[in-house]
Amino acid sequence: MKPHPVSWDKMRGAMLLVGLLFILPVLVACQGQTDSPTASAAASEPPTTGESEEPSVAPSLAPVDPVSFGVLRAPTGALAVVTDEQGWYEEAGVEVEFNSFAEGGGPAIIQAMGGGEPDIALLNLATVVLALGQGTFDVEIVSVAADPAEALPLIATEEIQTVEDLRGKRVSSPPSGGLYYVLAATLAKFGMTFDDIDYRPLAVGEAQAAFVTGELDAVVSSANGAVIIQETVPGSHVLFDGTMFDPEDNYASPDVIIATREAVENNPEGISRFLQAFHGRGVPYVNDSATHEEAIEAIQEYMTSVGAGLEEIESTTKSVEAIEFYDLETATELLSSDGFRDALDAQIQFWIDTGAFEEAPDLEGVLNTQLIAQ
């Protein structure tokens, strides 16, 4: 079969995707050093009344070991870096060392954490559940960070209007992890399996580029890729995403923050301070209307620096606003909620039913609700 002719617009879009998703990033994490980290004063001193007054002094924080954080090229991970750039980890009394996993993605982080480094990372729940079920590594879930349900859609060409229309069509996702789960759960909702489609397992960047050049009929994309594809390929549209499941489907695949058990045992205060700063300062920075645009610009600047940024701020805004970031109060409540545990159990059962692993992992001690609550 002859390949479909490819227009320059599509080829340019594909080149853009390849450039964004495969350029080797250079991550430079500059962290200020102090001999004794302290919490900064929240506001300036009030005017004096003419009498000598002792200035208020922020209480000293006991020193803790640095925390290493695994960074993926996604808005959620970028927000963690922006939190550092704003100095909020330093104010919380913890030094954060950033390790880039732009090229290897979630599987590379899982392999690295199995060896003990980095201490913490932000991954999609599906990636974590698969690794736990397959006995890949020993970690604890210490936070529910965000919900990317709308940001990771199944995108199809114009002629495909329903999920059932995917029968026999060329559809791609990575072979495991959160994007794979979106596709698997979507097919299952409509009584279909991978046997009903022409499944092409590809890395997300390769899949998105192949869709733009007409080699695929549908693709599960990343947050940035979803924006680029729909701006590049006429008629392409969101066929289904995580917000379209019904309550009885028990679908949930949030981004979670995990920590190695060794880090939890040896540096719990450091992890707690990281969570307090990320959820208590970083998330409000992007959620608050007064700082929303500034935060998005900072996220775009970081993403661009590692070869994954979008050129137009409007496009970055669409990508970021498709993600629901959880502040400290919400994240704390979610981690302890029956709803999150039910979603975790439902996803484990889904993977057992699909043959990803045979037995449910032992969740005793996996959910750590204490560190975020300190």
212 and 275 fall within a common domain: no
- Has residue 7 been placed in a domain? no
For 189, counting Cβ atoms within 10 Å of its Cβ (0-12 exposed, 13-18 middle, 19+ buried), the class is middle
245 and 262 fall within a common domain: no
For 118, which DSSP code? S
Per-residue tokens: 316 = 């970055």
Does residue 330 have a pLDDT over 80? yes
- Has residue 297 been placed in a domain? yes
pLDDT bin (cut points 50, 70, 90) of residue 59 is low
Into how many domains does the chain fold? 2
pLDDT at 6: 40
- Has residue 178 been placed in a domain? yes
pLDDT bin (cut points 50, 70, 90) of residue 104 is low
- Has residue 48 been placed in a domain? no
- Winning range, highest mean pLDDT, from 47-56, 106-115, 282-291: 282-291
Considering only 61-70, 158-167, 305-314, 357-366, which range has the smallest mean pLDDT?
305-314
345 and 265 fall within a common domain: yes
Tell me which residue range forms the domain holding 188: 151-249
User: Among 249, 271, 300, where does a domain finish?
Assistant: 249
162 and 180 fall within a common domain: yes
Mean predicted confidence (pLDDT) in 77-101 = 95
Residue 289's CATH number: 3.40.190.10
pTM equals 0.81
142 and 258 fall within a common domain: yes
241 and 260 fall within a common domain: no
How far is it, in rounded angstroms, from Cα 331 to Cα 254?
11
pLDDT at 307: 77
257 and 144 fall within a common domain: yes
- Has residue 374 been placed in a domain? no
Does residue 49 have a pLDDT over 50? no
Considering only 58-67, 150-159, 172-181, 219-228, which range has the smallest mean pLDDT?
58-67
343 and 309 fall within a common domain: yes
280 and 133 fall within a common domain: yes
How far is it, in rounded angstroms, from Cα 319 to Cα 310?
9
Q: Which residue has the higher pLDDT, 218 or 35?
A: 218
Inter-CA distances, 203 with 66, 75, 152, Å:
33, 18, 14
- Has residue 8 been placed in a domain? no
How far is it, in rounded angstroms, from Cα 92 to Cα 333?
21
193 and 275 fall within a common domain: no
Mean predicted confidence (pLDDT) in 13-33 = 37
User: Among 215, 249, 283, where does a domain finish?
Assistant: 249
174 and 134 fall within a common domain: no
pLDDT bin (cut points 50, 70, 90) of residue 57 is very low
Inter-CA distances, 245 with 55, 168, 353, Å:
56, 23, 19
Residue 60: phi and psi, rounded to 5, are -75, 145
207 and 227 fall within a common domain: yes
* Mean pLDDT of the residues in the chain: 84
- Has residue 179 been placed in a domain? yes
- Has residue 46 been placed in a domain? no
The answer to whether 280 and 286 are in contact (CB under 8 A) is no
